[in-house]
């Protein structure tokens, strides 16, 4: 059938109009779709491929569910004095209340907080540097492996980081504002988030607060009494949830309900500083912030920044003091350093956008060092996916194509970025192009690997076991007893199976209908071998059914 000429003409007109509109507005349309794609990588998650990490995620999820089901969210819903403020579980509990028990519910607070952290950090960078540095700092922060991991992790770490960033942002807004009412409001909000951060992360809030003290005191004590009053009033109001939590803890457990919180802080903060911990910090820094950490190290050693920091006490003193405090703690873990990553990204962006060589060979040595580093990494990645194809098949759940594509994307970005390293005509612009060329594919690849459960999904077998048709029909209508279960698996099962009961005595398990255990050998040695029959096995654990009950 022949298409009428008028329809063809109308189609051509529409096509011309759309094309002209796109060409005229491409500076708006292209960034819009880029931002949309950037955001989508945060939220397009296949939750059927996700499982919680034990112990931390399982513990936070289980405690948050207890909080959600309690009548008073200020009172700790535990049978013994607790070492954290109950605010640690509020966001996850609220998410469970709204969306039910699922990986989406327990991880959503971190996903949203991480996204808001990026926006807040970008606004802080705008106030302390310039638009080019702010954009680089945003991409730097969003692409760090440690940041990507905890952006999809059920914990209060990212809400805590958001509070610290809001303290800084509101304080900076108070310094920039010329209207008194705006300054009062911003100082109040800054103080409010200082004390709110304690409710969310307990004693850990003291570390960034001490680090921020020189910056805050320097600017605050130059102001009139009214400004100080609004700031302190914000701190007092923000402490109200903490005071209520401590009050109800005291009512329930006595003085131990309060001292347990500070005893835990003392245990974590004081004691012998581990030499091994000090050795691991640089390794973790370079690995968990790659490539930002190592590029900043090269720039710091071989170049100097031409950008004069607007607030040096904030840009340099705050992260340095905080880092020293963390290093002096008897115990520290990688997620303790999360609140420092926005500062690291801003410092890196400052160096990257404007620097001058310290030595005549600085540019060459940086190029060769980065070239060698990328060559080694490319070789290791290619060798790993070829040599360990069985593990790739296992962790990709039988669909290794996505792993091969994303790893190839990273390697290809390394190879194509080499062209920027040895062009000496425009060294600054080339190093920025080099940065974007490797950082954007890394952000895309790592995000998708986490989103599809290839990374950050260590207990998928446990979840698949619980989703099995035979098993789910049993656990949905029966109490499951846990005997001699691995501690990490026990933490997960306590969350996934709210009605499960932990059994410590071997002699009494014959009374129970269904038992999950990892100690099947003990059952076989005794008379229970004839009583229990296996229903399903996962890893080294068995779901057993009592045929005599």
Output the pLDDT for position 271: 55
Output the pLDDT for position 118: 95
* Average pLDDT of the residues in 10-35: 70
456: left (phi over 0), alpha (psi -120 to 50) or beta: left
**At residue 279, does pLDDT exceed 70?**
no
Residues 126-149 have pLDDT tens digits of 999 989 999 999 999 999 999 999
**Would you list the domain boundaries of the chain?**
23-351, 359-452, 460-546
Residues 174-225 have pLDDT tens digits of 999 888 999 999 999 999 999 999 999 988 899 999 999 999 999 998 888 8
Please give the Cα distance from 160 to 137 (Å, whole number): 20
**At residue 378, does pLDDT exceed 80?**
yes
Residues 62-96 have pLDDT tens digits of 999 999 999 899 999 988 888 889 999 999 999 99
Residues 403-433 have pLDDT tens digits of 889 999 999 999 999 888 876 565 566 888 8
**Nearest Cα to 119, choosing from 197, 177, 198, 39?**
39
- Phi, psi (deg, nearest 5) at residue 499: -90, 5
pLDDT band at 391 (very low <50, low <70, confident <90, very high): confident
- Pairing assessment for the beta strands 514-517 and 480-483 based on DSSP bridges: parallel
CA distances from 402 to 142, 306, 452 (A): 21, 42, 9
**At residue 526, does pLDDT exceed 50?**
no
Residues 304-337 have pLDDT tens digits of 888 777 899 999 999 999 999 888 886 778 899 9
pTM over 0.85: yes
Output the pLDDT for position 475: 85
**Nearest Cα to 449, choosing from 396, 379, 378?**
396
Nearest 10 degrees: Cα torsion 257, 498, 45, 398: 130
Output the pLDDT for position 497: 86
Q: pLDDT above 90 covers what percent of the chain? A: 43
Q: pLDDT above 70 covers what percent of the chain? A: 88
């Amino acid at each position: 059938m022949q298409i009428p000429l008028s329809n063809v003409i109308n189609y051509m007109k529409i096509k011309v109009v759309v094309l002209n509109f796109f060409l005229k507005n491409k500076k708006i349309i292209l960034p819009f779709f880029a931002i949309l794609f950037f955001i989508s990588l945060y939220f397009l998650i296949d939750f059927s491929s996700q499982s919680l990490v034990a112990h931390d995620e399982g513990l936070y999820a289980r405690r948050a569910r207890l909080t959600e089901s309690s009548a008073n969210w200020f009172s700790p819903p535990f049978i013994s004095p607790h070492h954290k403020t109950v605010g640690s579980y509020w966001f996850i509990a609220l998410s469970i209340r709204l969306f039910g028990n699922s990986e989406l519910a327990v991880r959503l607070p971190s996903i949203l907080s991480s996204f808001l952290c990026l926006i807040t950090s970008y606004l802080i960078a705008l106030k302390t540097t310039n638009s080019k540095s702010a954009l680089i700092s945003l991409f730097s922060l969003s692409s760090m492996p440690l940041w990507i991991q905890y952006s999809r992790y059920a914990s209060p770490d990212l809400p805590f980081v958001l509070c610290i960033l809001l303290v800084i942002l509101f304080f900076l807004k108070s310094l920039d504002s010329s209207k008194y009412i705006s300054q009062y409001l911003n100082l109040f909000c800054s103080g409010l988030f200082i004390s709110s951060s304690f409710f969310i992360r307990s004693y850990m809030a003291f570390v960034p607060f001490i680090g921020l003290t020189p910056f805050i005191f320097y600017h605050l004590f130059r102001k009139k009494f009214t400004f100080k009053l609004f700031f302190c009033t914000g701190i007092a109001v923000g402490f109200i949830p903490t005071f209520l939590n401590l009050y109800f803890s005291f009512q329930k457990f006595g003085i131990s309900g309060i001292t347990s919180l500070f005893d835990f802080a003392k245990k974590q903060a004081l004691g012998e500083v581990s030499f091994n911990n000090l050795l691991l910090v640089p390794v973790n820094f370079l690995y968990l912030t790659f490539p930002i950490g190592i590029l900043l190290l090269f720039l710091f050693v071989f170049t100097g920044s031409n950008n004069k920091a607007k607030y040096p006490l904030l840009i340099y003193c705050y992260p340095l003091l905080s880092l020293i405090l963390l290093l002096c703690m008897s115990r520290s873990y990688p997620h303790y350093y999360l609140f420092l990553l926005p500062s690291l990204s801003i410092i890196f962006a400052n160096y990257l956008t404007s620097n001058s060589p310290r030595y005549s060979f600085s540019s060459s040595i940086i190029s060769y060092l980065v070239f060698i580093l990328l060559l080694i990494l490319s070789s290791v990645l290619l060798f790993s996916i070829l040599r360990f194809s069985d593990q790739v098949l296992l962790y990709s759940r039988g669909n290794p194509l996505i792993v091969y594509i994303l790893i190839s994307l990273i390697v290809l970005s390394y190879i194509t970025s080499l062209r920027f390293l040895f062009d000496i005509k425009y060294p600054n612009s080339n190093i920025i192009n080099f940065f974007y060329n490797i950082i954007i594919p890394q952000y895309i690849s790592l995000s998708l690997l986490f989103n599809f459960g290839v990374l950050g999904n260590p207990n998928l077998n446990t979840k698949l076991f619980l989703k099995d048709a035979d098993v789910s029909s049993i656990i949905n209508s029966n109490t499951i007893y846990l005997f001699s279960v691995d501690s990490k698996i026990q933490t997960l099962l306590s969350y996934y199976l709210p009605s499960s009961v932990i059994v410590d005595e071997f002699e009494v398990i014959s009374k129970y209908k269904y038992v999950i255990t990892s100690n099947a050998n003990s059952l076989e040695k005794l008379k229970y071998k004839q009583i229990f029959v296996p229903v399903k096995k996962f890893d080294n654990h068995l779901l057993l059914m009592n045929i005599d009950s």
